[in-house]
Amino acid sequence: MTWTPPPTPPTGTRKPRPTGVAALRAARLRRRTWWLLGTLPVVLALVVLGVKLALLAPIAATAKDRYEAGEATTAADYYGIQRTFNIVEPWKAHFNHGTALARSEDSWALYDAITSLDRAYDLAEHESPEERCMIQTNLSLAYEIQGDGDMAYADGKAAELALVEEAIAARDAGLPYDEEVLDPYGDGSEEPDPEELRQDVQDWYEYAEQEYATAEQIRGWPDCGESEQTPEQEEQDEAAQQRLQDKQQQAQDSQPEDEGGGGTQEGEGSEGDEQSEASGGDGSEGEDQQSQAEREEQQRQEELQQQGSEAREEQERLEQEYRDLYGDQPGTGTDPGDGSGSGTKNW
């Protein structure tokens, strides 16, 4: 007798659904699979956070070592890493990052330094006046360093302008002059324009003056006044205020004289002073001088506020120009985030 094999089921026929114990086991496996897939992102985030927290202490120690060794830019890179995934006192990483960048005194890094210190000040809103004073002081110093850089650049441009004007005057008078000054490339293609140089000198001295004014304005924020300062710290703060005022005056005095009649105004002022002195000394002279001093002080404070506002607008404009050119913030830092780290001392 010959047995016929059972018929083969057609392709695509659905398998019978499991029943009983098999069905329960299949349902349990499906629930476990979905549970694992659902919790996987959370597990990965916790792992990354754990690794990050575990590395914070060594990163902070390395950053501090580099800072104390004078490697400010490298220290800033390490402090920049700490700004991410930190919940406890996130302002410290921004403060450390900004302080290290400012200490490097790199012209582009100073933009990042000011941004980080601004962020630290905002994040430290509910911290003690002493800690906010520390941030305030370093932010003022960052603006002052930026002003020093612009002042030095303006001095260089002013020296170049003086050489060009001297060479042109000598050439026009038929006297010997340094031809390289008027023909720096040796091909006679382009002669420096004194007016353009004079405008550059004017602009850069004004930038410096505005940055010094902003630094002085920040020094006047209330946090340091509300903190418990030692007599030495109070003396240092007063000396810094005076230093910034002197630098503002120096930047203002260094600006090229207006050829449109500035001397006439000075002459009129001198004549008025002489007339005032010659008018005699009645009893109201002391009161007039006092009221004049008060008006001058009020005017100076208004000018400081205006200069501070202009400096911030100029800061934002330069940062936007840099982003338009290079697609990122100036300097060497990364995008702001949350972080922590050991406090870096004021320099």
Task: List per-residue pLDDT tens for the chain, 347 residues long.
Answer: 566 776 666 665 566 555 566 777 777 777 777 777 777 776 666 655 555 555 556 666 776 777 777 777 887 877 777 777 666 788 998 999 999 999 887 888 999 999 999 999 999 999 999 999 999 999 999 999 999 999 999 999 999 999 999 999 999 999 998 888 888 877 777 888 999 999 999 999 999 999 999 999 999 999 998 988 889 989 999 999 999 999 999 999 999 876 544 433 344 444 444 444 444 445 455 556 667 767 766 776 666 566 656 656 666 665 565 555 445 444 443 333 334 444 444 44
Report the alpha-carbon distance of residue 103 to residue 100 in Å, rounded.
5
Tell me which amino acid residue 172 is: D
The rounded distance, in Å, linking the Cα atoms of 60 and 298 is 46
81 within a domain of the structure (yes/no): no
pLDDT attached to residue 10: 62
Query: What is the C-alpha radius of gyration for the chain, rounded to an integer number of angstroms?
Result: 34
Between the CA of residue 153 and those of 117, 208, 316, what are the distances in Å?
25, 10, 20
- CA-CA-CA-CA torsion sign (156, 158, 164, 166): negative
CB-based contacts of 18: which residues, under 8 Å, 6+ apart? 26
Query: Residue 17 phi/psi, 5° resolution?
Result: -70, 135
Per-residue confidence (pLDDT) for residue 32, from 0 to 100: 74
DSSP code of 331?
S
Q: Measured between alpha carbons, how far is 197 from 193 in angstroms, rounded to an integer?
A: 6
Q: Which of 86, 78, 32, 38 is nearest to 59 (CA)?
A: 78
85 closest CA partner among 335, 334, 336, 337: 337
Please name the helix (run of DSSP H) or strand (run of DSSP E) that holds residue 296, with its range, or none.
helix 285-326
Query: Is 150 a member of any domain?
Result: yes
Q: What are phi and psi of 187, to 5 degrees?
A: -120, 5
For residue 241, the model assigns a pLDDT of 93
Dist. CA 67–CA 80, nearest whole Å: 13
Close Cβ partners of 145 (under 8 Å, ≥ 6 residues apart)? 102, 105, 110
For residue 201, with 0-12 CB atoms within 10 Å meaning exposed, 13-18 middle and 19 or more buried, which class applies? buried
CA torsion through residues 187, 189, 193, 197, sign: negative
* 187, 150 contact by CB (below 8 A): no
In a domain, 1, yes or no: no
Q: Is residue 99 part of a domain?
A: no
Q: Enter the DSSP assignment of 6.
A: P
pLDDT number for residue 314: 62
| pLDDT at res. 75 | 79
Output the pLDDT for position 59. Answer: 63
Residue 247 in any domain: the answer is yes
- For residues 233 and 115, what is the distance between their CA atoms, to the nearest angstrom? 25
Q: Supply the pLDDT for residue 333.
A: 39
Domain span holding position 208:
128-256
Residue 69 lies in a domain: no
User: Is 231 inside any structural domain?
Assistant: yes
- Structural domain count of the chain: 1
Q: Residue 284 falls within a domain, yes or no? A: no
What is the model's pTM?
A: 0.63
